[in-house]
Every structure is written in C-alpha cells, then in structure tokens.
Amino acid sequence: MSFEPLTVSQLRIVYVGARIVGHRTLAALLEAGANVVGVLTLDESKADITTAFASFDDLVERYGLEARKFTSLNTPELTEWVVSLRPHLGIVIGVSQLIGRDLLQVPPRGFIGMHPTLLPEGRGRAPIPWALIKGLEKTGASLFYCDPGADTGDLLAQQEVPVYYEDVSATLGERTDDTVIRLLLDSLPALAEGTAPRIPQDESRASVWPRRRPEDGEMDWQKGHRQLYDWVRALTHPYPGAFTWFNNRRLWIWATRESFDQRRGDPGEVLAVLPQGVMVATGEGCVLLTRVQWDGEDEIEAWHAGLKEGDRFGRSS
C-alpha cells in the first residue's frame, strides 16, 4: 500500500500509552516535535494491577494534548473519538490490551507497537522477567505493525540489547526502553514518507512466554544458586517479588548474590547469618540473601530479619 509522502511534522499520530515506558516514549516523541494529535492513557483505577504504572497528566498539561483515559481500549466511544482526530498513524507503547479490529483500521498507516524481545522469540507477557529467569545474555527491542494477534505483526525495526550479570528487571527494562525510543525516533521519517519497511516475522522461530502472576514468585530451593539469583533479580522491584515461607510467615526476597562458599546443607537451610547477608543452601551451592521483607513490614537488610543458622525455608502448603 502506498501513502502520500509527509514530513514528520505533518504526520498525525494518535498515541496509546501506559507504564513508565509509555510515558518516556511519548515524552521523547513530543520533544522531537512529533505531531501527536491525541493521547489515550490507562486510567488510574488500573494502577494497583499494572506494573510500573505511570500517569501521563504532566505531559498532557505541558503540551496541551487532546487526551482520554481508558480501562478498555475497544469501545465504540473511544473508536469514534480516534476517528475524529483523523490520524495517519497510531503508536501503542506499554499497553497489555490488544487493539481490536475496529480501532486498528482507523489510522491508514496502522498502529506501531513495541515488544522488548527479539521477535518472534518471546511473544507474550512479562518479557523482561523471563529474559532474566532464562539467564539470557542478550534480548532485544522490536517495533512491529499491530495486527489482531499478540506481537505477531510485521517488523518495522529491531535491535539486540545485552543482558548483564548485575542486571535486575528495572535496569534491563530501562535499557530496552532506551532502545525502543531510539528505534522509533529513527523510524519516524520513513513512516511519514511512506517508505518504512515491513518484514514478516519468521514463524519457524516463534516462541511464546507465558503470563506471570504474583503467586508464581515462590522460591524453589531445589534449584541451583545461579537459577535462584536469576529468579530474584527478575522478580524484584517494580515486579511483585520473589518470596519464601518460614514458620507460616512469608518472606519477600528483593536482592541476592551468588555465593561460592563451600558450606553445604539441605535446600532452604540457613547456613550462616553474616554482615553481608543470610547464606542459604540451594540444590546446588548457596545464595546470599541481602534485602528482604516480612509480610506487612518494611524492607530491610537480610541480616536484620531475625533468622539464625539452622532455620529452614520451605514451600507453602
């Protein structure tokens, strides 16, 4: 399909955003002079169930944007409002809801979405935690043309992103966010001119990573020290967290380090309480808990948690 060539300032964009990544991307577009004619943002009523929720009110006020808030994207009222904006292009960043067919058809140049993996690998939910849980050494950022599926549309642009040993979900997420923003700004001229590429995804390489729930964060002490280190750094802030149980109390584990101490014990057994943290045996080696939080209490350094040598963590019944 061919389109009339436009400049970036002529390209009318409707923006759909949620979360910190959505806020950062919209701010970058506006600072770059993009012609954002309307903004749809996730309503504050969804804040408690949305990881890394962000309000867009500051950008709406600063730039005088036409804006609406949504709990469900696919309503006739919102679709009619988007039609009234006469957008050439839609951009959707940080939103878990799929855009329905009626809304997808409004901008003639379609909607551009993003996903922080090297699509078609890692379609689906929680891509940042999964990259760390899987111990990947690289992930990526992908821009794609939205279709009715989840992360299945043709690719616009893509770039590898390294995963470092010290990364946690927040630092890796910031790095993929930076890459998404750069790819999008670099792609705007071609999107305006109507010359942007469309590269079909290779379905033979496709994989889907499943949704994660807060209750999925329980520590399995039978796993090895590296697996549990990856588990904790994947699920730490801003995600709900990894946890274990002791005497029917839940202990949230926000930070760990791998330990190469030669002491051994049963998986889940506290081997030592040290100034650096609490050493716990795993199915292979040890981990050092450094930041923890009992349910209903404040986050603390692990050695202040009242644990002692010989205590045993276990799975909930």
Longest dimension (CA), the chain: 72
Residue 202, SS3 per DSSP: coil
**Looking at domain 12-209, which of 3.40.50.170, 1.10.10.10, 3.20.10.10, 3.40.50.720 is its CATH number?**
3.40.50.170
d(CA 40, CA 16): 5
315: confidence class by pLDDT, cuts 50, 70, 90? low
pLDDT in tens, 89-127: 999 999 999 999 999 999 999 999 999 999 999 999 999
User: CA-based Rg of the chain, rounded to a whole angstrom?
Assistant: 22
d(CA 96, CA 232): 23
pLDDT in tens, 249-280: 999 999 999 999 999 999 999 999 999 999 99
d(CA 39, CA 67): 5
Report whether pLDDT(316) > 60: no
The two structure tokens encoding residue 47: 């804040």
Report whether pLDDT(317) > 80: no
**Residue written as tokens 């750094």?**
233
2: confidence class by pLDDT, cuts 50, 70, 90? confident
Residue 315, SS3 per DSSP: coil
- pLDDT at position 37, please? 98
Phi first, then psi: what are they for 57, rounded to 5°? -60, -35
17: confidence class by pLDDT, cuts 50, 70, 90? very high
DSSP string for residues in 82-140? HHHH--SEEEEES--SPPPHHHHTSSTT-EEEEESSSTTTTEES-HHHHHHHTT-SEEE
74: confidence class by pLDDT, cuts 50, 70, 90? very high
- Nearest residue to 107 (alpha-carbon basis) of 145, 138, 164, 61: 145
- pLDDT at position 257, please? 98
**Looking at domain 214-304, which of 3.40.1360.10, 3.40.190.10, 3.40.605.10, 3.10.25.10 is its CATH number?**
3.10.25.10
d(CA 161, CA 117): 8
The two structure tokens encoding residue 230: 């990856």
Please check whether the two domains, 12-209 and 214-304, share a CATH topology.
no
Mean pLDDT of the residues in the chain: 96
Start-to-end C-alpha separation, the chain? 58
Element (H, E) at 21: helix 19-31
Element (H, E) at 31: helix 19-31
Average pLDDT over residues 153-161: 98
Report whether pLDDT(75) > 90: yes
d(CA 50, CA 96): 9
Domain ranges (residues) in the chain = 12-209, 214-304
Report whether pLDDT(189) > 80: yes
pLDDT in tens, 20-32: 999 999 999 999 9
**Percent of residues, the chain, with pLDDT higher than 70:** 99
Tell whether pTM > 0.85: yes
- Using alpha carbons, list the distances in angstroms from residue 59 to 30, 73, 185: 9, 20, 18
Report whether pLDDT(164) > 60: yes
125 and 19 in contact (C-beta within 8 Å)? Answer: no
**Any residues with CB less than 8 A from the CB of 154 and at least 6 apart, and which?**
144, 145, 147, 198, 199, 200, 201
Element (H, E) at 81: helix 76-85
Pairing between strand 12-17 and 270-274? unpaired
Report whether pLDDT(180) > 60: yes
314: confidence class by pLDDT, cuts 50, 70, 90? confident
Residue 59, judged by CB atoms within 10 A of its CB (0-12, 13-18, 19+), counts as buried
